Amino acid sequence: MFEPTADDYERWQRHDVRTRLLRFATVLITVPIVVYSWRILGINYDYLSTAGWAVGDLLGRMYPPNHGYTGEIVGPMIETINIAILGTGLSALLSIPIAYLAASNTTPNRITYVIGRLVITVTRTVSTIIWAIMFVILFGPGAFAGVIAVAIRSIGFIGKLLSEAIEEIDPGQVRALEAAGANDRQQLIYGVAPQVKPLFVGITTHRWDINIRSSTVLGLVGAGGIGLELTARMDVYQWQSVSVILLAILVTVLLSELISAKARSAVS
């Protein structure tokens, strides 16, 4: 009588050969990269062993927060919020023409399209803090440099999302205006703008919320806001004041996130 052995059955595998090979290759490539990266970091294991203690010690020094100091940071905190508001507002104004150039359906010609895209890419890939370093050199230290830095960085963000919104509009509405004899400018104002307006408001509010967060660190490079106070307190080891600042930042950021979420759900 015939007795089937294990070889007579095809072994069941969850994935086909191609998938398995691909996964194997992925692991083969990833693991050396990770190991190599880890070695580049040149970790000093003596420091690592005391890291827990150091963080604990730091938190111990921060507690209890120095309540008396709270009054002094109201000014810098308001300045931080103002930088975010102004920077975002300025950026919203600048983003509109850029987005118009960078949307393939509204841009006048090939060259303007490339210019629009280039502005968006460059402003977007350089972070706010690097822009701030440069504007501090140009305009001198202070909140002014911070506002410009926030504004320039945000062009990339708002402009990119806005140009994508413009590309996705319903062309029928614009064509109807064209058929009724509207010129290019009228087509933009009455055909394109109303369709992207809610999105534009939403994007700008969202960016404002992100900008509050980035404005908290502008002071590290001298561009105004609460960051300046933070580094000043750290330099003189007033950790109990530092914890007050950190708490204030936490509250402000959470509030702005709440406001931005409320505003965005209201417009959409």
Partner 1 sequence: MLVAVFWSAWSIRLSPARFVEGLSSTGQFLASMWPPDFGARERELIREGVTETLAMAVVATIIGVSVSVPVAFMAAKNLAPWPVYYLARGLITVSRAFHSLIIGIIFVVAVGFGPFAGALTLSFATVGFYGKILAEDLENIDMNQLRPIEAAGGNRLQVILYGVVPQALPRMIGLAIYRWDINVRSSTIIGIVGAGGIGFTLLNAFDRYQYDFAAAILIVIVAIVLAGEVASAMIRRRVR
Among the candidate windows 41-49, 106-114, 151-159, 167-175, which touches partner 1 by CB under 8 A? 41-49
Question: Cβ 213 to partner 1, closest distance in Å?
Answer: 5
Member of 69, 135, 157, 200 binding partner 1 (CB under 8 A): 135
- Select 169 or 244, whichever has its Cβ closest to partner 1: 244
- Taken as a whole, the chain contains a residue count of 268
Q: Write down the residue that tokens 């701030």 correspond to.
A: 132
Among the residue ranges 4-12, 166-174, 178-186, 220-228, the one whose residues contact partner 1 (CB under 8 A): 220-228
Spatial separation of the C-alpha atoms in residues 11 and 13, rounded to whole Å = 6
Pick between residue 42 and residue 172 the one whose CB is nearest to partner 1: 42
Does residue number 38 form part of the binding site for partner 1 (CB under 8 A)?
Answer: yes
Select from 32-40, 66-74, 100-108, 187-195 the region that touches partner 1 (CB under 8 A).
32-40
**Binding residue count for partner 1, defined by CB under 8 A:** 56
Sole window of 30-38, 63-71, 156-164, 192-200 interacting with partner 1 (rule: CB under 8 A): 30-38
Residue 86 near residue 215 (C-beta atoms within 8 A): no
Is there a contact between 156 and 98 (Cβ–Cβ < 8 Å)? no
CA neighbor of 212 nearest in space, from 87, 75, 74, 69:
87
Q: How many helices (H) and strands (E) does the chain have?
A: 11, 0
Q: What is the DSSP secondary structure assignment for residue 77, as one 8-state letter?
A: H
Show Cβ contacts of residue 219 under 8 Å, excluding neighbours closer than 6 positions: 76, 225, 226, 227, 228, 229, 230, 231
143 binds partner 1 (CB under 8 A): yes
Q: Residue from 6, 29, 138, 236 that binds partner 1 (CB under 8 A)? A: 138
Distance, CA of 116 to CA of 93 (rounded, Å) = 15
Q: Which is nearer to partner 1, 9 or 12 (CB)?
A: 12
- Residue 96 touches partner 1, criterion: CB under 8 A: no
CA dist 229 → 20, 74, 156, 234, 243 (Å): 55, 11, 29, 9, 12
Tokens of 120: 């968006």
Helix (H, G, I), strand (E, B) or coil at 127: coil
Q: Which of 70, 96, 113, 129 binds partner 1 (CB under 8 A)?
A: 129
> Binding to partner 1 (CB under 8 A): which residues in 47-86?
47-48, 51, 54-55, 58, 78-79, 81-83, 85-86
CB of 7 to partner 1, least distance (A): 30
Q: Which residues contact 148 (CB under 8 A, 6 or more apart)?
A: 87, 90, 131, 135, 139
Q: Which residues bind partner 1 (CB under 8 A)?
A: 33-34, 36-38, 40-44, 47-48, 51, 54-55, 58, 78-79, 81-83, 85-86, 89, 121-122, 125-127, 129-130, 133-135, 137-140, 143-144, 147-148, 213-214, 216-217, 220-221, 224, 230, 234, 246, 249-250, 253-254
